[in-house]
Amino acid sequence: MLIAIPDLLGADDLAAVRTLIDAAEWVDGNVTSGHQSALAKRNLQLPEERMEAKRAGQIILDALGRTPLFIAAALPAKIFPPLFNSYAGGQAFGTHVDNAVRIQAGSGFRVRSDLSMTVFLEEPDAYDGGELTVETLFGVQQVKLPAGHAVLYPSSSLHRVEPVTQGRRVASFFWIQSMIRDDSARQMLFDLDSSVQALASELGHGHDQVIRLTGVYHNLLRRWAEG
């Protein structure tokens, strides 16, 4: 399941995030890499303990909580605090799979990485290359979205960031532990929820069949959800 989430950040939130992170000091991106990723990763990253990173990350977390599409697609149980990276001058991140478990530095907070998310923070015409390339069951998909837009995809998928040959690609990235561990079950729930919402728009939320299907959705969620 690869889902684009348009306008996650509005203009004011996007400007606030960029003001915070652009004024901060960036370091080598391998500070958060596992062994496999370190072999393929060439970029810069904002240290997660920096005040600017925490404040910018909170803006993104607040936006996620206001975004029904994200909640329906991810069914989040835990969200790793957003991180920030930058690519320029030919930097890239080769093909890899995200670590299964992410642990926040200096704390016991950990997240099983069911889903990965990238929030684009630079307009696509401001840099060349830098596409997020994800290998899915339906073939290879490349994603390069407007600033403030985001994409959600399975952490288990092979993916990479193509070399940035001109300009600078700036983004936030993080991982989500879903209440629904299985990707196919999560996809079915998302499809069912989308259909229920479409029917409710046509028939009204009080229609017998809408109520029945809503019950099916919640009973499946109850059956599959983990604490």
User: Which of these, 212, 225, 222, lies nearest to 77 by C-alpha position?
Assistant: 225
Give the helix/strand (H/E) hosting 219. helix 208-224
* Residue 207 counted as an annotated binding residue: no
Q: Considering Cα of 204, then 208, then 214, then 218, what sign does the dihedral take? A: positive
What is the Cα–Cα distance from 188 to 220, expressed in whole angstroms? 10
Distance CA 69, CA 3 (A): 9
- Distance CA(168)–CA(124), nearest Å, equals 10
| Residue 205 marked as a ligand binder | no
Residues of the binding site for 2-oxoglutarate: 169
Residues of the binding site: 96, 98, 159, 169
Residues of the binding site for Fe cation: 96, 98, 159
